[in-house]
Amino acid sequence: MNESDSNVLRRFWRAFARRPDASAIVATTVLFVLFSTLTQNFLTPFNQFNVWRAASQNVFIALGQAMVVLIGGMNLSLGAIGGLTVVVIGHSIQVFGLAPWIAVLFGLGVGALCGLVNGFFISRFNLNSFVVTLATSFIFQGLVNGISQGRPYSNIPHAFTMLGKGDLFGVPNMLFLMCFALILVHVAFRYSVVGRELLATGGNPVTARLSGIKTNRMIVLANVLSGLFASLAASLWVSRMGTAQPATGGDWLIVSFAVTVIGGTALAGGTISAPGFLFSGLLMALLRNGLIMLGVNVYFEQTFLGTIILLAVLVEWLRAGVVGNSRRLSSTRAT
């Protein structure tokens, strides 16, 4: 390798290290190679189908959390909104006899309404999102228990389940939906005015307000989008499982934060990476699938998930420090 090639490679790695999703890409690649080597059935078409379907579900769940994290907030009621959506869909189909697609529209409306409630109290009374969404999570969960009485809804039409269980040329339908959603997110936050205003609100609310952005409206919009994505994830969950379980959403909180943080969305707000969601969603699916194939006790799953999150945050801290020092050094040399 000559000096010119070496300089090109060095510039490539420096540019890669500046990406907020660099940690997710590296970790996912390493984990994929590791499980491929250690297990015999990991690369089989059936197993890969399940992995990518689970990864797609993770991404939709995490997008609900990311919509508020990117403005510097959080949504602790995400799982409860998902559970309420599931119950609304199941109740609409089994009790009211509505068509599945109408039931899904009702579910999405409920998710948007829940997000609107969160956004209203946070913006109108300048309350902390942690406190508001913690309170509303109990309210929404109470509605789940009250409406369903803890009973699942199993009368889900087979045609509706094909969306979550079906495939096209061996590729899960949910993977196509996930890629389409990530493309929309990328375009919206990179090129649309509203998307950039949301990022500006998360990056520096005071500066955004002084520049004419209606930050309270952005907070409400972010929470409505969070509720919509939570409801969309819940709708796909019903289609994938073929039943509407009131317990849905109980483990969504750790998944939503893990995929969001590992995927490069800064907890302080202001950044979001569509490729980061793809790789971090896959990372979580690989971890769960690989642990089962290796025969690891599944009861320790949350321990591994928490460790992965901690390591991801640590790696991101180190990456940010290296990139920051590199930029300061370049600036010093330039002067």
What is the C-alpha separation between 231 and 106, in angstroms, rounded?
A: 10
The pLDDT value recorded for residue 48 is 94
The pLDDT value recorded for residue 332 is 47
Q: What is the pLDDT of residues 233-258, one digit of tens each?
A: 999 999 999 999 999 999 899 889 88
**Rounded mean pLDDT, 298-319:** 74
Q: Is the pLDDT of residue 1 over 60?
A: no
Q: What is the pLDDT of residues 97-114, one digit of tens each?
A: 999 999 999 999 999 999
Q: Is the pLDDT of residue 55 over 50?
A: yes
In total, the chain counts a number of residues equal to: 335
CB 37 within 8 A of CB 290: no
Count CA atoms closer than 13 A to 127's CA, side-chain side.
Answer: 18
Give residue 71's pLDDT band: very low, low, confident or very high (50, 70, 90). very high
Q: What is the dihedral of CA 112, 83, 176, 267, to 10 degrees?
A: 70
Lowest mean pLDDT among 7-16, 92-101, 206-215: 7-16
Q: What is the pLDDT of residues 250-296, one digit of tens each?
A: 989 988 988 988 888 877 677 888 999 999 999 999 988 888 888 87
What is the C-alpha separation between 43 and 68, in angstroms, rounded?
A: 36
pTM score, whole prediction: 0.90
Q: Is the pLDDT of residue 148 over 70?
A: yes
Q: Is the pLDDT of residue 215 over 60?
A: yes
- The answer for 97, left when phi > 0, alpha when psi is -120 to 50, beta otherwise, is left
Give residue 25's pLDDT band: very low, low, confident or very high (50, 70, 90). confident
Domain ranges of the chain: 29-317
CA angle 301-307-308, nearest 5°? 90
Paired tokens of 31: 């984990």
SS3 of residue 83 by DSSP: helix
Q: Is the pLDDT of residue 317 over 50?
A: yes
CA angle 32-35-39, nearest 5°? 145
What is the C-alpha separation between 67 and 221, in angstroms, rounded?
A: 9
User: Which amino acid is located at 271 in the chain?
Assistant: T
Task: Tell me what the pLDDT averaged over the chain comes to.
Answer: 88
Q: Name the H helices within the chain.
A: 3-17, 22-38, 45-69, 78-94, 100-124, 129-148, 158-165, 173-191, 193-203, 205-210, 215-241, 252-262, 274-293, 301-334
Q: Higher-confidence residue: 331 or 87?
A: 87
Give residue 83's pLDDT band: very low, low, confident or very high (50, 70, 90). very high
What is the C-alpha separation between 257 and 63, in angstroms, rounded?
A: 10
Q: Higher-confidence residue: 171 or 17?
A: 171
User: Which sign does the torsion angle of CA 222, 53, 163, 244 carry?
Assistant: negative
The pLDDT value recorded for residue 210 is 92
User: Which amino acid is located at 186 in the chain?
Assistant: H
The pLDDT value recorded for residue 307 is 80
Domain 29-317 adopts which CATH fold?
A: ABC transporter involved in vitamin B12 uptake, BtuC (1.10.3470)
CB 289 within 8 A of CB 279: no
DSSP bridge pairs for 172: 167
DSSP bridge pairs for 209: none
